[in-house]
Amino acid sequence: MSVTRPVRVHFAVDVENLQAHQSVYVVGSSDVLGAWEANRAMPLVQDPDRSMRWKATIVSDVDQLKFRYFIGYNLMSDQGEKLIVDKWEAFLHPRSTLCIAESRNGECRADRVDLFGYYAGRKCVSDGWLQHPDENQILLRLHGNALKFYKTAKERKNCRVKMTPLDVRFKAPPSGHISFSYGEDEEDEEEDPNAPSNKCTHSTTHVAVLSDPRPKFYDQEETGVVFNNNKDYLVFRTHCLAAEFLAFYIEIFSDERKRIGACYALPSALQDASGIIHLPFINSSGRPIGQVSIEYLCVRALTRLDGPQLMDETYCRHWKKRNALEVGHRGAGNSYTKFAMARENTIHSLNTAAKNGADYVEFDVQLTKDRIAVIYHDFHVLVSVARRDGHALPPPMTREQLDSSNLDFHELPVKDLKLSQLKLLMLDHLSFPQKKENVKKLVETSEEEEDFKPFPTLVEALTKVDPDVGFNVEVKYPMMQNNGEHECDHYFERNLFVDIILADVLKHAANRRIMFSSFDPDICSMVATKQNKYPVLFLCVGETQRYTPFQDQRTSTSMTAVNFAVGADLLGVNFNSEDLLKDPMPVKKANEFGMVTFVWGEDLDKKENIQYFKKELGVDGVIYDRIGEEERRRNVFIVEREQKRALLSCSGASTPQRAPSPSPVSSSEGNNNSSSPPLSAKKLSMTRNSQSDSALLEESEEDMESMTEKLNITGFQSAPMVSTK
């Protein structure tokens, strides 16, 4: 509601360790603060007396303002300067102020100074996301036997590697080119007049050492970072707005920090979305002395949405601590290699798990030939084809008769079949020829209702499954295995693949709880980088005798998986139960980083193992088959919602009230899920009674905490959030 007398609202925030090219911005619920669009955010001005303090003032005539701070910098494109979000406050609820109620003599927040990333007793900062159509993130990785020297009998140790980005349209700085001890260079031609300007089109390069105990990104040193073959794992990261002109100047230094050689990775070497390049490097006299092998990943911005991704709500770093969530594996359970009452990964199976009290359901998503996201686990299906024997066609036979007479099976990738073909063809699961008992057939000969059929689309699941149950969307992307076999080669381009799935979720998820996961580390990085709303968990195989391991080193151990997830700024890790039963230390390490931990695996078929992971290891979620069949349970979100309503009814709450804005307090670095002491109970009313109340989404949790403690509601421990009107 508008007020007749505008007030001046002051913003002041202290930001530590800000770099020279970075600035601080505030984005919020009013037009003057950009209406939650990062590109329209208000820049703050650095205080000349305190270099770490940034300030701004606006005139507002609204009752309540909500806002967030973020750190950004500008890059140049063909269309002019564009703002890049580097770090932002990713609290579930943004900061909030009641402009009139908190004003004195027409001034609001005049004496208030915030601390970037700290609010309501918590620290929560997330990396930015790709928001411009031409914005790209380039990741370069060195691992394994990446450095090779041609004439060195003894392998060099503790070499150092530095990667410097450059735009090939501009003259490189003196430190960005190879110098020779002979000859004279021809003078450079004038720079491209169509280039944006001599301002930077790319960011500086940061590096993360995944083999290091602190695997987060940081600035490179002048002589790079140490790399040893078959020991270290380096990831270099750069943002750019002109990927077609982006190159890298790569320098190799000795242990004594003397330059050994250098080379260029030119734009032509980075044409695909991902790959590996082998680059010879030369010394200062121009002689080739070795080779460096680099894996790369080019992440492009998500462009399939109707508008910009806003900053008003985010769950990417949010996790409410409670008893472990219970997640239905493929809905009601694996039905093709195990016995389950309902066919897995169908609408019926997902709703059955929801009816049985699952908090979340987990399912697998991949694309059909016509680029439709469908729910199915395996990359291949068996197509049944009757043999031609040269005789007249037999009379109509049942499928069982065909199976025993003249039926052949042909394995085809799901990616090579359109959705209509998947719906019409007589298909079987890959395990069908073994004719295992109590295994559900992929397609029945009799007519079935649509919800019982395989290959539902992702959109159908989002719109037809009970909205109270959350979705753990496993993004299936084929990988190379240790045995040399690829799960499904010649697959979709990664960016296209991820964009289709993300667009479906962002457009149709509504208020449903969503989390993403994948066994492919690059897919996890892409999902987290392309959107700013939903969290991502890294699915880890770890050390296993049960499954075929992947070649990707980041999946080799559970400890390595934790380091990757920390470096990629993911919410957490989904561990393999087989590995954790042998060594539970990865869970402890993940907890030290403030990460969320889930567990999946066949060991969870045993109830005692489920209890071990829930009670002794204290994981945040368990994923298992046939949820709720042996022991009835209720969805925790429904239970909490009913308890909240009962508490409110007992308290006689009628008018929502808001406590004064909390002051920032310090928190241990890296622990984004730490809890602070509960705030005093405040009266609150809730008027939403529709089933979309499944989307209370932990709203106003701190308002309920003290009342909940009085009633001794088990497992209801929440990190306090700011209350909303």
What's 252's domain CATH number?
2.60.40
CB 179 within 8 A of CB 249: no
User: Exposed (0-12), middle (13-18) or buried (19+): which is 388, by Cβ within 10 Å?
Assistant: exposed
Of 140, 163, 239, residue with least CA distance to 529 = 239
Task: Give the per-residue pLDDT at 434.
Answer: 52
Amino acid at 212: D
Summarised one tens digit per residue, pLDDT across range 118-154 is: 998 899 999 999 999 999 999 999 999 999 999 876 6
Residue 454 belongs to some domain of the structure: yes
Q: Are residues 274 and 203 in the same domain?
A: yes
Alpha-carbon distances, residue 224 vs 47, 220, 262 (angstroms):
33, 6, 12
453-472 average pLDDT score:
97
Of 456, 461, 424, nearest to 443 by C-alpha is 424
Distance, CA of 628 to CA of 640 (rounded, Å)? 18
Domain end, chosen from 127, 156, 188, is at 127
Q: What is the pLDDT of residues 149-183, one digit of tens each?
A: 998 766 789 999 999 999 999 887 666 566 655 54
User: 604 near 623, Cβ under 8 Å?
Assistant: yes
Burial 260-273 (b: 16+ CB within 10 A, else e): bbbbbbebebbeeb
140 and 120, same domain (yes or no): no
Provide the b/e sequence for 53-84 (b: ≥16 CB within 10 Å): bbbbbbebebebbbbbbbbbbbbbbeeeebbb
Instruction: For the chain, give the percent of residues with pLDDT over 90.
Output: 71
User: Of the candidates 23, 27, 120, which has an alpha carbon nearest to the alpha carbon of residue 311?
Assistant: 27
**Same domain for 168 and 38:** no
- 309 domain residue, yes or no: no
CATH code at 103?
Answer: 2.60.40.10
Q: Which of 183-197, 228-242, 376-390, 651-665 has the lowest mean pLDDT?
A: 651-665
Bridge partners, residue 88, by sequence: 70, 126
119 falls within a domain: yes
Strand order in the sheet with 380-386: 407-413, 380-386, 427-428
Alpha helix (H) residue ranges in 21-61? none
Confidence (pLDDT) at 658: 39
Reply yes or no on whether the pLDDT at 269 is more than 70: yes
Q: Is residue 320 in a domain?
A: no
Residues 239 and 333 in one domain: no
* Mode of pairing for the β-strands spanning 572-576 and 2-14: unpaired
**Tens digit of each residue's pLDDT (9 = 90 or more) over 280-332:** 999 988 999 999 999 999 999 999 999 999 999 999 999 999 999 999 999 98
Count of C-beta atoms within a 10 Å radius of residue 718: 17
- Looking at the structure, tell me whether residues 534 and 570 fall in a common domain: yes
Directed axis angle between helix 494-508 and helix 521-530, to 10°? 50
Q: What is the pTM of this model?
A: 0.86
Domain finish residue from 639, 663, 687: 639
* Diameter over CA atoms, the chain: 98
What is the per-residue pLDDT for 701?
47
- Same domain assignment for residues 240 and 343: no
Mark whether 497 and 363 lie in a shared domain: yes
Q: Which of 583, 609, 639 is the endpoint of a domain?
A: 639
- Please answer whether residues 528 and 569 qualify as being in contact, where contact means their C-beta atoms are separated by less than 8 angstroms: yes
Length of the chain: 725
Cβ atoms of 316 and 506 within 8 Å: the answer is: no
Closest of 83, 10, 96 to residue 41, by C-alpha: 83
Retrieve residue 591's tokens: 């907890």
Question: Based on the domain organization, do 458 and 550 belong to the same domain?
Answer: yes
Tell me whether residue 316 is in a domain: no
| Pair 252, 172 in one domain | yes
For residue 721, give every residue at least 6 positions away whose Cβ sits within 8 Å of its Cβ, in sequence order, or none: 91, 92, 93, 120, 698, 699, 700, 701, 702
C-alpha–C-alpha distance, residues 677 and 483, integer Å = 52
Q: Give pLDDT tens digits for 486-524.
A: 999 999 999 999 999 999 999 999 999 999 999 999 999
Instruction: Give all strands (DSSP E) within 390-520, no chain letters.
Output: 407-413, 427-428, 470-475, 514-518
Domain of 281, in residue numbers: 136-177+198-300
Q: How far apart are CA 57 and CA 11, in angstroms?
A: 6
Is 27 inside any structural domain?
yes
CA quadruple 315, 320, 321, 323: dihedral positive or negative?
Answer: negative
Residue 632 lies in a domain: yes
Mean pLDDT of the chain: 85
* Same domain flag for 345 and 241: no
What dihedral do alpha carbons 529, 530, 534, 535 form, nearest 10°?
-20
pLDDT in tens, 325-373: 999 999 988 766 655 567 889 999 999 999 999 999 999 999 999 999 9
Question: In the chain, how many domains are there?
Answer: 3
Q: Are residues 97 and 168 in the same domain?
A: no
- Residue 392 falls within a domain, yes or no? no
**Contact criterion met (CB below 8 Å) for 56 and 28:** no
Whether 564 contacts 215, CB under 8 Å: yes
Terminal-residue alpha carbon distance, the chain:
12
> Both 122 and 162 in a single domain?
no
pLDDT tens digit sequence for 82-91: 999 999 999 9
The pLDDT of residue 651 = 73
pLDDT tens digit sequence for 205-227: 999 999 999 999 999 999 999 99
Query: What CATH number did the domain enclosing 342 receive?
Result: 3.20.20.190
